[in-house]
Structure formats: structure tokens, C-alpha cells
Amino acid sequence: MVPNTVPALVEYAATTHGDREALVDGEVRWTFAELAAEVRRAAHAAVSRGIGAGDRVGLWAPNSRHWIVQALGLSLAGATLIPLNTRYKGPEAADILRRSKAVALYTVTGFLGVDYPDLLKGEELPDLKQTVMVDDYSMSCSAGAGPLPEVAPADICDIIFTSGTTGRPKGVLSSHEQNMRTFQVWAEVVGLQPGDRYLLVNPFFHTFGYKAGIFVCMLSGTTMVPEPVFDLDVVFDRLANEDITVLAGAPTVFFSLLEKADELRHSLRIAVTGAANVPEDLVRRMREDLRIPSIVTAYGLTECGVVSMCPPDSDARTVATTTGPAIPGTEIRISELGEICVRGYNVMRGYLDDPEATAEAIDPDGWLHTGDIGVLDGRGYLTITDRLKDMFVVGGFNAYPAEIENVLVTHPAVVDAAVIGVPDERMGEVGAAFLVTRAPVEPAELTSWLRERLANFKVPRHFHVVDALPRNPGGKVVKPELRARVL
């Protein structure tokens, strides 16, 4: 029976896969039984710190065994997890901590030279009572500690923040049962088996890394090998020395591997990609040059995790041009406007403290309106053709033009700004900014200035100075015209 909460998942994995290797992180190697013991210890430490049922806790750290243990441990303690993007600057992280009313923050110092607690100095965080280092289990209780809180399937498991076209972050509420059912299906469609070994390079603050990483491994008995950053040489080493069989990531990951395909030694049998346009030639080369037999593409969004998945035995054109059918037990329909709508157990419970946005996204019949445009073919396979929203995807990360534009217009030289996503061979898409300026400004200066205020993936790669932005009679920027100029 599939577990329907994270605490049940931890016990299920310990009981079903107990002696199998669960996690490899540097010199540390744990079985599923040992991992469960570490998670319980982290849960008791959280309770000792005063963290209880329903409390919201931020987790701002790179991929590691500590992220896994603390995330699962907080769920056992009854808390709601708030993952934070490690690329965030202080104001971005502070906004999410304030909006979620997080009572604690689990974090690190020194990752890529960044002191995360230091980034929050001067920020008003009235609900934040404590900051904890992710490797600190010092307050865990003895073996005789009391019982942990009961966690129900309908309880909110996590709140992952995304942004809309207004640039205002929205917290997506996902329940324990929603997560378990959705990612059990993910594991089944992909074909994970006990004994598989999964190199977790997708960041855990993202659904792709956290849920299609940690959860699916725990459900299937797959070994987790977390990596804090994507480094091609390190990945090469891990693929060979850890007998990795599963690798998931944006197309950029596999483009990088192809650069050294002749030197690659690996036992990969499954690759999962998506989050950006997938060229047909890439699928073909992954099978022929990288010798990966099973390739899965999928379509998902934070609001429902996974929408559709293309079967791994599909031909290259199908894998590249469609995202497959709706996952089992869910529905997809295309609205009169061409919008992709989803209904089923995979749909979120709503947006945090935003009933209006929730009602706008989920109609009275339970259909989630994704904001993406698509078509269904005769097989029921989905092809995404456009976006109602202006969001674009940079190497697997969602970038929202309004957020970037709102920062750009605060630069002393910038009067007006519009940002669009443009194709990029390696990253899938990157930002291109069109600017009306009051004084000359060099692209390098803008890039440096923006990197102090935004995560790097949000910083446009191209800048175009124009006399005026094209606008319709209602005053809105006509972005198709800007796209036409670039193309």
C-alpha cells in the first residue's frame, strides 16, 4: 500500500527497503533503516526547539543529506516545509519568509561563498524566532523521547513559492496525500526499481529535485546521491564510480554530457528531462551517443507537480514534441481559448492567503487553469504550443518578466523596460531586455547591477536599447512584436 503522508513514507521505506543503500553523500552511506533513524532524530530535535504541528519552516540550503534529513524530519514533527531557492538574494528570501510567517529557518553558511543568514540582516521578519544550521541535531532527544505528532493525509506538507506574471510570489499549498499519490505515479511511469541509483542534481528547492527526487527514491527503494551543484567533471565521476542508473534534469544537463560523450563511462538506463523545449536531435543523441535506452519527458508545474508524462519507449519525435498523456487517474482538457486545464488528485489545495488567485486558477468544477496553451492529439498526448503567461524557462528555472522589469526600472539610467524569453541552444531560453533609457548604460554594468538584486538565472543575457516600447491602446507592451524583432 502506498503511504499517504511523509511520516508514513519514512516508515514504509525503512520497512520495505531497510537494508538497501538509501543515500550516498561523500563518505556517508546509509541504509533506508539508518536514514529513517536520522530522520526521527531530526524530528525530535525540531520538537525540542519548539517547532510543532502546522508551523511553517524555511529550508534554505543546497542539496545534501542534511537537506533530506531535515526536510523529512520537519514533516515528522508536523511542520510545513518552505523550500527556498539557494540563488535568492536576501530581499527575495525575506519576502517569502514574511509571507509564509515562517517561525524558523534551517540554512547554511559558506555555500559558494554565501553566508545565508548574513543576507537577511536588516530584514524585518517578525515571525521568525530561530535560525538553525542544517547539520545541527544537537537538541535531539534520547531514545526515550515521546511520540511525534499525528500527521493526516490532508495536512499541508509544503508551500513552494512561485510567481505570476505580476511578479508577486504565490505560495502553492500541497498536501501530503497529493504529493505521495502524484510521485508514486511518477516513479511507476519512469520505471524506477529497487536498487536503482539516482544522481540528484536538480536543486531540492524545486519540485523536480525535491519531490521527483527524494520522494520517488523513498517510494521505490532507489539510492539517492545528492549533488549541491552541477559540475560536469563531478557528474562524470559520480556516473562511473557510483554506478548511477537514473539522471534527471533540464536539457542543458544532457547537452553538457554530450560534449564529452566519448569519455563517458556509465550505467545510465533512465533519463528524465523537460522544463524547456527538448530538441528531437537531443533525444536521438541521448539514445545513440549517450546510450541511454529509456528517455522520459514530462510536463508539470508547481501547482500540481506532474501533469503528463511521455512513455519511455516512445519514438524520438514523440518524446521531443509531446509531453505524453495525463498521468493515470487525472484529466487534461483544452479550453475554448486553447488553455491547458488539469483535474485530479495532483492539483494543489490553493494559494497561500490568496483566495482570489485560488478561485481564478481553480474553477468550480475543479479544473486547474495552467496558463499554458496546448493541443491534445488523437492519442491524448499533450503538446505545449505557447504560454498565456510570459514566464520563460532558463535551464529548468522559471523566470517571470514582470519581476525582472520591476527591478530594471529602478536603475538610474532606465526609464522603461520589457523582458521576454528568447531561444538559447544550451539553456533552452534566456531573458532579453528591451530598455528605454535616460542615459547611456553598458550591458556589463546592467548585468553586474542586476546580479546584486536578482538570482543569476533571472538576469537577462541580452539588452536592447529602444526609443519606445510597442504598446497596444490599453497601454500594455506588445511582446509578440518584441519577439519578432529578436527572431
Whether residue 141 has pLDDT greater than 90: no
Instruction: Report the pLDDT value the prediction gives residue 145, as an integer from 0 to 100.
Output: 66
Residue 164, helix vs strand vs coil: coil
Instruction: Report the pLDDT value the prediction gives residue 144, as an integer from 0 to 100.
Output: 46
Phi and psi, residue 246, nearest 5°: -130, 130
Whether residue 309 has pLDDT greater than 70: yes
Beta strands 56-60 and 104-107 are parallel
Count of C-beta atoms within a 10 Å radius of residue 154: 12
CB distance 234 to 227 below 8 Å? yes
CB distance 392 to 421 below 8 Å? yes
Angle at 270 between CA 269 and CA 272, to 5 degrees: 160
Confidence of residue 279 (pLDDT cuts 50, 70, 90): confident
431: Cβ contacts below 8 Å, ≥ 6 apart: 392, 394, 399, 401, 404, 419, 420, 421, 422, 458, 459, 460, 461, 462
CA separation for the pair 167, 178 (Å, rounded): 26
Cell of 137: 541535531
Instruction: Report the pLDDT value the prediction gives residue 23, as an integer from 0 to 100.
Output: 98
Instruction: Report the pLDDT value the prediction gives residue 280, as an integer from 0 to 100.
Output: 83
Whether residue 118 has pLDDT greater than 70: yes
Mean pLDDT score, 110-131: 95
pLDDT tens digits, 208-254? 999 999 999 999 999 999 999 989 899 999 999 999 999 998 887 89
CB distance 320 to 282 below 8 Å? yes
CB distance 371 to 342 below 8 Å? no
Mean pLDDT score, 255-278: 84
Domains along the chain with CATH numbers: 6-382 (3.40.50.12780), 392-486 (3.30.300.30)
Instruction: Report the pLDDT value the prediction gives residue 16, as an integer from 0 to 100.
Output: 97
Whether residue 147 has pLDDT greater than 80: yes
Cell of 388: 498565456
Phi and psi, residue 21, nearest 5°: -70, 125
Instruction: Report the pLDDT value the prediction gives residue 276, as an integer from 0 to 100.
Output: 52
The edge-to-edge listing of strands for the beta sheet with 339-343 is 331-334, 339-343, 368-376, 382-387
473: Cβ contacts below 8 Å, ≥ 6 apart: none
β partners of residue 57: 81, 104
Phi and psi, residue 77, nearest 5°: -80, 0
CA separation for the pair 170, 358 (Å, rounded): 10
Mean pLDDT score, 406-428: 89
Count of C-beta atoms within a 10 Å radius of residue 472: 9
Instruction: Report the pLDDT value the prediction gives residue 166, as an integer from 0 to 100.
Output: 43
Mean pLDDT score, 419-447: 93
- CA 297 to chain centroid, in Å, comes to 15
pLDDT tens digits, 173-199? 999 999 999 999 999 999 999 999 999
Q: What is the DSSP letter of 39?
A: H
Whether residue 169 has pLDDT greater than 80: no
Instruction: Report the pLDDT value the prediction gives residue 1, as an integer from 0 to 100.
Output: 79
**Which tops the pLDDT comparison, 404 or 34?**
34
Instruction: Report the pLDDT value the prediction gives residue 471, as an integer from 0 to 100.
Output: 78
CA separation for the pair 156, 153 (Å, rounded): 8
CA separation for the pair 191, 266 (Å, rounded): 18
CB distance 294 to 313 below 8 Å? yes
pLDDT tens digits, 322-343? 999 999 999 999 998 889 999 9
Confidence of residue 116 (pLDDT cuts 50, 70, 90): very high
Distances (CA, A) of 426 to 53, 117, 282, 430: 43, 33, 11, 10
Per-residue b or e along 293-330, where b marks 16 or more CB atoms closer than 10 Å to that residue's CB: ebbbbbbbbbbbbbbbbbbbebebebbbbbbbbbbeeb
Cell of 210: 525535491
DSSP alpha helix (H) spans, 49-175: 65-76, 90-100, 116-119
**Which tops the pLDDT comparison, 1 or 40?**
40
Length of the chain as a residue count: 487
Instruction: Read off the amino acid at residue 132.
Output: V
Task: Write down the pTM of the prediction.
Answer: 0.84
